[in-house]
A and B are shown apart, each in its own frame.
Chain A
Amino acid sequence: MIENDAKVWLVLALLAVGTYLIRLSFLGLVGNRRLPDWLARTLRFTPVAVLPALVAPLILWPEATGGTFDPVRGAAAATTVGVGLVTRNTVLAIVCGGVVLFGGLWLIPQ
């Protein structure tokens, strides 16, 4: 549980301002000047690196099970990735993973 109110507000303010400045950066200030090529190429991989890195430990050690691997959650994650890779459809991938998750937990109550 989060109990430190001042810390929450500080994080909120810094994150809001920082995110806005990231969005404004080039459009607002820099105009047509280009980023160094190596930086632009590296930044392109930000979402495909950050999102899986955020999720991988949550799949292996889900908080809800106290950190033990859960086959149902594992299967739901694998389904989402598989459907996403094959169909390139985000909504469909999430729905299929969700069906496996809810269906699996219904069949195998914990």
Chain B
Amino acid sequence: MAVSTANATAPRGDFLAGAAKAAPFIIMLIPFGAVFGVVARNSGLDLTQTMAFSGAVIAGASQFTAVQLLVDDAPVAVIVATALAVNLRMMMYSIAMVPHLGPAPLWQRALIAYLNVDQTYALSVAEYETRPEMPIRNRVAYFVGTAAPIVPCWILSTLAGATLGRALPESMPVDFVLPLMFLGMASPMMKTRAHVAAALVASGAAILFTGFPAGTGLLAAAILGMIAGAVVDDADPNRRPT
């Protein structure tokens, strides 16, 4: 067995390791970002607005939600509340990062927060859990490494979709790429009965609530689903500790 030399490694090595771990995910991000660019432009946003969404929000699901609700002409408060609800999971990411990255200087944590998306979070925490001896500088370097391919790729693929997307044939079913993306992201998350209950209640409620004013049906349905998940979780004798 090799003696662990992790304490002596330079942060640069961890940066590169993080980047290598994250690189395959761009295969999925490119179509997702490009579709956002296409959808946003076709919905009436100009190029600057489209790029500002991907550059400043960096959260695909909420960006699509916001654009869809802008098309529906929902009130600003409803649009923002619904899109932020889609991003509430990131509060969990922020909590989960505290034990690993809490000791970093504030400016670094502020930067990490900007880059804390589904993929960078999941990959970094997985690494920190397998290498608890990692020094804080190396943890930060690893995190920034995972963001290095992910975030620029998200922004550039949006740009590609926004500028070239109008060349797509009219018959392309781009409308349905988003549902497939979300279903593909959600279905592997069905780890317990509680997760299944949350998904079933939320989608059933969303169907029942389609007559609600734009956006509010989704918000109400999501809250009902989350409560259903928590309730089933409480009743499940096999539940895993939070």
Contact = CB atoms under 8 A, between A and B. Distances in A.
Given A22-B90, A35-B95, A44-B229, A49 B202 contact: yes
Contacts of B177: 98
B92 interface: yes
Which of A15, A23, A24, A49 is most buried by chain B, counting CB atoms within 10 A of its CB?
A: A49
Nearest to A84: B187
A51 B101 CA distance: 28
A15 B62 contact: yes
Interface stretch (B3-11, B102-110, B147-155, B160-168): B102-110
B70 A7 contact: yes
Q: Chain B binding site: helix, strand, loop or mixed by DSSP?
A: helix
B80 A18 contact: yes
Contacts of B223: 49
Contacts of B28: 90-91, 94
Majority DSSP secondary structure for residues of A touching B:
helix
A15 B82 CA distance: 10
Interface in A23-56: 23-28, 30-32, 34-35, 37-38, 40-56
Given A60-B207, A101-B173, A23 B116 contact: yes
B38 interface: no
A15 to B, nearest CB: 5
Contact of B45 (A8, A25, A35): A8
B186 A47 contact: yes
B187 A45 contact: no
Interface in A64-110: 64, 73, 76-77, 80-85, 87-91, 93-94, 97-98, 101-102, 105
Nearest to B63: A15
A55 B180 CA distance: 9
Interface string B40-68: 00011110010011001111011001110
Contact of B207 (A20, A56, A87, A102): A56
A77 B206 contact: no
Chain B interface size, as a band, is 35 or more
A90 B37 CA distance: 21
Interface size bracket, A side: 35 or more
A64 B175 contact: yes
B175 A15 contact: no
Nearest to B196: A48
Nearest to B93: A23
A52 B201 CA distance: 9
A89 B188 contact: yes
12 contacts: A2-B44, A5-B46, A20-B114, A42-B227, A45-B226, A45-B228, A46-B89, A46-B226, A48-B202, A49-B225, A76-B180, A90-B185
Interface of A: 1-3, 5, 7-12, 14-16, 18-20, 22-28, 30-32, 34-35, 37-38, 40-64, 73, 76-77, 80-85, 87-91, 93-94, 97-98, 101-102, 105
List the 5 closest pairs (A to B, CB-CB), nearest first: A84-B187, A49-B225, A45-B229, A56-B203, A2-B44
